Amino acid sequence: MKTAKDASTTALTPRGFASNQDIRWCPGCGDYSILKQIQTVMPTLGVPKEKMVFISGIGCSSRFPYYMNTYGLHGIHGRAIAIASGVKSTSPDLDVWVVTGDGDSLSIGGNHLIHALRKNFNINIVLFNNEIYGLTKGQYSPTSPSGQVTKSTPFGSLDRPFNPASLALGAEGTFVARGIDRNPVQLRELIAASHRHEGTSFLEVYQNCNVFNDGAFHAFTDKNLRDDHVINLEAGKPLIFGGGTKGIRLDGFTPRVVPLGEYAPEDCWIHDPQDKIKASILASFFDYSVEQAGLPRPFGILYEANRPTYEQTMMDQIERHFDQEADLDALLKGNNSWEVK
């Protein structure tokens, strides 16, 4: 048997993080890219692989743990986060990752998501959002746009989708970010940032399901469209997009697209991920199509705040009262025992 040390050391390459299982996603699925970026980032985090746990629910995306040569638990539909909360409570030293889908964590698992955000366990949630139920062959999901025709909505869906970033903010999330399968560089940064964040990281990743919802994020990946549709956020930097031709300013609370040149970059909204109200406005870009307001979709870290983690306060509370020598016999005896002769 290898020693712990050996095992960890040999693992510190992306290959070392790959399990020996065949990857079963459809050819062309966006999940491959996300897997690759995670496998690439892992060795850079300085965490031995035995300290990593990947937990998922059910869905195409939730197959993820099988492909990681770490600890993994493929749970039941919607419950990954709840399982993760138990892992983290018992072993705060583990690096806990939750991989989930838009159905898994926003439909059936929505409650666990909002409660985890509120409690702020130090876990990293990576939500593969393909705006569809992949595994069950193409029903609409809580992120599918209104009117979408799917297997279960042949005449178009009736629902307003969730705006996942808004929901996460509304649920007291401390780290809200968005990436996309087709921007691997940014995605790797966001994965690393999720890991760094102490608290529940909510990283939504747009992921193309090329079988049931191909092209859902076309506007954000297509060479001709993406400049106008994507804005990449960087803390302390102005909101600029359109290949450097456009900026965003705040007119009161209303974000407006302005031509750069007329305005200097410094005149634009400077991204401050600590500002929750600004984060809400960024999240609300989602509600307007480019066609309506010219507002692009923000990628990067929308919001990040510091708040004690749940498991840390739990540990602190226990430590205040813990007694290595706590006497089981005294406990069993209680305060009011007596002898029968």
Partner 1 sequence: MEQSVKDTEDVVILFAGDSGDGIQLTGGQFTDTIALFGSDVSTFPNYPADIRAPVGTTSGVSGFQLKFGSAEVFTPGDQYDVLVVMNAAALRVNLPNLKKGGIIIANSDGFDSRNLRLAQYIGEENPLQDRSLDGYEVHAIEVTKLTREALKDSGLGMKAIDRCKNMFVLGFVYWMFSQDLANTIRFINHKFQYAPEVRDANLKALNKGHHYGDTMETFTSRFDVKSAQLPAGAYRNINGNQAMALGLVAAAKRNDLELFYASYPITPASDILHELSRHKRFGVKTFQAEDEIAAICAAIGSSFAGGLAVTGSSGPGIALKGEALGLAVMLELPVVIINVQRGGPSTGLPTKTEQADLLQAAYGRNGEAPLPILAASSPRDCFDTVYEAARIAVEYMTPVMVLSDGYIANGAEPWKFPTSAELHPFQSNAGSEITNVEGVFMPYARDDRQVRPWVKAGTPGKEHRIGGLEKELVTGNVSYDPENHERMVAIREGKVAGIAKDVPAQIIHRGEAEAKVCVLSWGSTFGAIETAIRDLLQQGVSVAHVHLRYLYPFPANLKQLLSGFETILIPEMNRGQLAMMIRHQFLIDARSISKVQGLPFTVEEIKKVIQNELSK
Ligand X SMILES: Cc1ncc(C[n+]2csc(CCOP(=O)(O)OP(=O)(O)O)c2C)c(N)n1
Given the rule CB under 5 A, which residues bind Mg ion? 101-102, 130
Which residue in the block uniquely carries the two structure tokens 């999330």?
173
Binding track, positions 185-214, relative to ligand SF4; x by CB under 6 A: ------------------------xxxx--
CA 144, CA 131: separation in Å to the nearest integer?
5
Q: Which of 8, 9, 40, 136 binds ligand X (CB under 6 A)?
A: 136
Smaller CB distance to partner 1: residue 2 or 223? 2
Confirm or reject binding of residue 134 to ligand X (CB under 6 A): yes
Binding test (CB under 8 A) with a second copy, winner from 98, 168, 216, 248: 168
CA distance 217 to 204: 13
Task: Choose the contact partner of 143 out of ligand X, Mg ion, ligand SF4, none; CB within 5 to 8 A by kind.
Answer: none
Q: Does 159 sit near a second copy (CB under 8 A)?
A: yes
Position 17 contacts a second copy (CB under 8 A):
no
**Nearest-CB residue for Mg ion:** 101
Distance separating alpha carbons of residues 246 and 290, to the nearest angstrom: 13
Return the range that interacts with partner 1 (CB under 8 A); candidates 49-57, 171-179, 196-204, 240-248. 49-57
The helix/strand/coil state of 250 is strand
Please count the residues of this chain forming the interface with partner 1, following the rule CB under 8 A: 95
Among 146, 274, 313, 317, binds partner 1 (CB under 8 A): 317
95-101 vs 123-129, strand pairing mode: parallel
DSSP assignment of 13-50:
STGGGB-SSPP-SPTT-THHHHHHHHHHHGGGGT--GG
Angle at 62 between CA 58 and CA 65, to 5 degrees: 130
How far is C-alpha 157 from the geometric centre of its chain's CA atoms? 25
Q: Which H or E element spans position 248?
A: strand 246-251
In whole angstroms, how close is the CB of 58 to partner 1 at the nearest point?
6
Minimum separation from the CB atom of position 18 to ligand SF4 (A)? 18
* Contact region with ligand X (CB under 6 A), list: 7-15, 126-134, 167-175, 216-224: 126-134
Question: CA 25 to CA 31: how far, in whole Å?
Answer: 7
The CB-of-117 to ligand X minimum distance in angstroms stands at 18
Residue 114, binding choice from a second copy, ligand X, Mg ion, none, Cβ under 5 to 8 Å by partner class: a second copy
Of residues 130-149, those binding ligand SF4 (CB under 6 A): 130, 134
DSSP string for residues in 253-290: TEEEEEEBTTB-GGGSPBP-TT-HHHHHHHHHGGGS-H
β-strands 240-241, 52-56 pairing = unpaired
Q: How many CB atoms lie within 10 A of CB 19?
A: 13
* H or E element at residue 247: strand 246-251
Parallel, antiparallel or unpaired: strands 254-259 and 246-251: antiparallel
Q: Write the interaction track for ligand X spanning residues 57-96; mark x where CB under 6 A is met and - where it is not.
A: -xxxx---------------x-------------------
- Shortest gap between Cβ of 156 and a second copy (angstroms)? 7
Residue 265 binding: pick among a second copy, ligand SF4, partner 1, none (C-beta 5-8 Å cut-off by kind): none
List binders of a second copy among 121-150 (CB under 8 A).
142
Q: Which residues bind ligand SF4 (CB under 6 A)?
A: 25-26, 29, 31, 60, 130, 134, 209-212
Q: Which residues bind ligand X (CB under 6 A)?
A: 58-61, 77, 101-104, 128, 130, 132-136, 141
